[in-house]
Amino acid sequence: MNKITAALIGAGGRGQFAYAPYALQNPSELAFVAVAEPRGFLRDQFEKTYHIQPESCFHSWEDL
């Protein structure tokens, strides 16, 4: 199986705490490479948890 790389749009409750943990539990299957989230504290938390490069963190999906 090939690893899927994905961008998370919306790092709130469902995005960060319901869907994204699958990537931590299954790192050979899914890796996040970008995030779009207007709330800085959630965007920063996702960046650190999922090791997203700062240049791949965006304020909105339009910026992504």
For the chain, 64 residues long, give each residue's pLDDT as a single digit of tens: 799 999 999 999 999 898 899 999 999 999 999 999 999 999 999 999 999 999 999 999 999 9
At residue 5, the pLDDT reads 97
Q: For tokens 């699958």, name the residue.
A: 22
Cα–Cα separations (whole angstroms), residue 48 to 1, 32, 43, 52: 26, 11, 9, 7
Q: pTM here? A: 0.91
Q: Which residues pair with 35 in a beta bridge?
A: 8, 57
